Structures are given as structure tokens and as C-alpha cells.
Amino acid sequence: MKEENLSTIKRYPITAYLESKGITPVRRLAAYAMYRSPLRDERHPSFKVDTEKNLWIDYAEGCGGSIIDLYMRLEGCTLPEAIRRLGHMISGHRISNHQRTEAYRHTTKSTDGSRKLIGISDDLPPHLQDYLTKERCIDLGRARPFLRCVRYEVQGRTYEVIGFANASGGYELRGAGLFKGTLAPKDITPAFPDGRQPVCLFEGFMDLLSFLSMKEKVGSHCLVMNSVANVGRCIRYLRERHITVLRAFLDNDDAGRRTLSAFIEAGFLVEDMAVHYQGCKDLNEFHVNRIRRLREQQGQATITTKPTHTTKPTHTIKLKRR
């Protein structure tokens, strides 16, 4: 990556990145903001963001750095992955100018660093339905019970996004563009919690929705992590219910592999389902590719079986008299 591009990434406001994840400051002054550390659970704020230098420090851990260092910690990825993902997020690589503007607007902070919740409804507007069905190939009939439309305000602007509830009353948020965030508090999400084993473990809710869309019937206890940073919460949840066997539908990246290892090291018997979608980033990408191939095949079959129009012969056949 060019030095000027790396410099651009490092200038991207850490406060805006944290806001996109639903993390808001406890106290905000002209030159810095104080947070409860996003690296662990804590009551008193020990995490400082210098808004002038755009650097962070966690006083409790004695560590800090740039937005790249923080992204690596929170997203559980390598340095090259962090630079690539942040570059895409900031420059809007592969998206239109309109989507880039919307993504920026969603991460813009209000003066007090918070989102103001306006309302939550069961009805998803058409543009969010289109995003789910056309871009993510999600079966709305099966997904709808898990989804809400969340309306919130930032600096006087109102937004509508997809909301996926977690166990603490918070929501994972997705827009129709690049926007991803959280309406705090952040937590895991159990689905179909009947205690049966194995439990199907998903990294994000779009993977769960893909799983539901692929299956005729789901009879499995499912658990959505909502972030690889929630490994500890997942382990506590599973141990409290005496669950020892997992089917892990995690991402095919370093963070996914580290998460898989964490569950194995914690004593769980884990079947790595990611081997079935090697070559794809995650289960949703595999699902989207599969659906699009099926649609292409169906389209070709329609063309192949389309009846051809024949013209009647122009000559006449004379019958001989007997």
C-alpha cells in the first residue's frame, strides 16, 4: 500500500470507528474522549482517545496505538487484513459514490457521541428487503421473525437499518450499503434455545439467516456470536447449559481460525463447518454464490426447453385416387 493511503487510514477518526460499532464515550472534551474499554468489560472508563492526534490508549492494559492497532484488536485480524478492510471502509472501494456517502453519514458522530433511538418496528422498508433478498439472497419468510427496522438519529439525520436483537436488549445493525454497527449493549444472540446438541455457532447474524434460508427445517440450537470478541460470553453461555458439542460456521480467515481454536482449547468438541465453504469468506458468500449459480442454471434450462416455432410447409400433398 502506498504511504499516502496508509496515512489516510491513520487519519480516519477513531471515535467514528467506535461509533460505528455502537461504542460511545462516557465523557467527551475538546481534545479527547474517555470510554469504558471496548477490549473488556469494565465499569469505570480507562480507555482514552486523543481526538487531536487520533491515537488511543488503554490505561488499564498499558497499551495503545493508531486506528489500525485498535481495529486488529477488536476485529481479531492481522495487520494486512486490518489495512485492507479499513482502506475499503474509508475509500469506498467497489461501491458507488452514493453508497460511500451513506456509509460516511452513518459513522458521523453527533455532538455528544451517541445515536438517538427513534423507534423499532417489525416492518422492514422496501430498500432493506431488497438488500436482503437481492444482495444477500436471504429468504425473508424465514428471516423475518429475527429482524426489526431500527430508526435512529445522528446530528439531526434519520436512518433506517436492519436490526438483529441480542440477549441484552441491544441490536446488531446493518444498512443497505457498507454500514455495520451496534445499538448498545452488545451481546450474543441465542436462537431456538432448546438445549440440544450440537449447537450451531455463527460469527454473525447474516450467516444464521443464510443457514435458515438453506435449510428446509431447522431443528438445531443456534448461537450467534455477533463478534469474535464475544468468545468469552459464548463459552460462559454454553457451559452454564452443559453444552459440549459445537458445529462452527465461522469465517474463513485468521480471526475465524483463532476463534475456532479458542473453543477447542476451552474443551469443546467442535466440528469445523467452514471446510464445506472453502474459497468463500463466510457462509453467506457461499450461499449467495450457490443461489446465483442455481438461478443461472434455471435460466439456461428455460432457454433450452423453450419450444421452437416451426413454419408450415408451403407445398401441398396430393392423395392418389384408388
Give the CATH number of the domain where residue 235 resides.
Answer: 3.40.1360.10
Last residue of a domain, one of 183, 204, 228: 183
Tell me how far apart the alpha carbons of residues 75 and 81 are, in angstroms, rounded to a whole number: 10
For residues 218-235, average pLDDT: 90
Tell me how far apart the alpha carbons of residues 277 and 250 are, in angstroms, rounded to a whole number: 10
Tell me how far apart the alpha carbons of residues 305 and 301 are, in angstroms, rounded to a whole number: 6
* Burial degree of 143 (CB within 10 A; 0-12, 13-18, 19+): buried
Mean per-residue pLDDT over the chain, rounded = 83
**Contact of 20 with 3, CB cutoff 8 Å:** no
Domain limits for position 146: 116-183
269 lies in some domain: yes
What pLDDT is stored for residue 113 in this prediction?
Answer: 44
153 lies in some domain: yes
Question: CB-based contacts of 232: which residues, under 8 Å, 6+ apart?
Answer: none
Q: H helices within the chain, ranges in order?
A: 3-11, 14-20, 67-75, 79-91, 97-107, 126-130, 140-143, 205-214, 231-240, 254-265, 283-305
How many structural domains comprise the chain?
Answer: 3
For residues 268-287, average pLDDT: 96
State percent of the chain over pLDDT 70. Answer: 84
* Burial degree of 147 (CB within 10 A; 0-12, 13-18, 19+): buried
Q: Which of 206, 219, 222, 168 is nearest to 286 (CA)?
A: 206
283 lies in some domain: no
- For the entire predicted model, the pTM comes to 0.64
- Residues 123 and 198 placed together within one structural domain of the fold: no
State percent of the chain over pLDDT 90. Answer: 47
Residues in the chain, how many?
Answer: 322
Interstrand relation of 180-183 and 199-202 (parallel, antiparallel or unpaired): unpaired
- Residues 55 and 88 placed together within one structural domain of the fold: yes
Q: Predicted confidence band at 3 (pLDDT cuts at 50, 70, 90)?
A: low
For residues 86-114, average pLDDT: 48
- pLDDT tens digits, 149-202: 999 887 788 889 999 999 988 889 998 877 788 887 888 999 988 778 999 999
233 lies in some domain: yes
Q: End-to-end alpha-carbon separation of the chain, Å?
A: 92
User: Is the pLDDT reported for residue 268 higher than 90?
Assistant: yes
Last residue of a domain, one of 129, 164, 183: 183
What pLDDT is stored for residue 149 in this prediction?
Answer: 95
Q: How far is CA 7 from the centre of its chain?
A: 27
- Residues 159 and 179 placed together within one structural domain of the fold: yes
Higher pLDDT, 132 or 28: 132
Instruction: Kindly report the CATH number assigned to the domain that includes residue 13.
Output: 3.90.580.10
What pLDDT is stored for residue 312 in this prediction?
Answer: 45
User: Is the pLDDT reported for residue 250 higher than 70?
Assistant: yes
- Residues 145 and 208 placed together within one structural domain of the fold: no
Q: Which of 117, 90, 222 is nearest to 167 (CA)?
A: 222
- Residues 212 and 143 placed together within one structural domain of the fold: no
* Burial degree of 188 (CB within 10 A; 0-12, 13-18, 19+): buried
**Contact of 36 with 25, CB cutoff 8 Å:** no
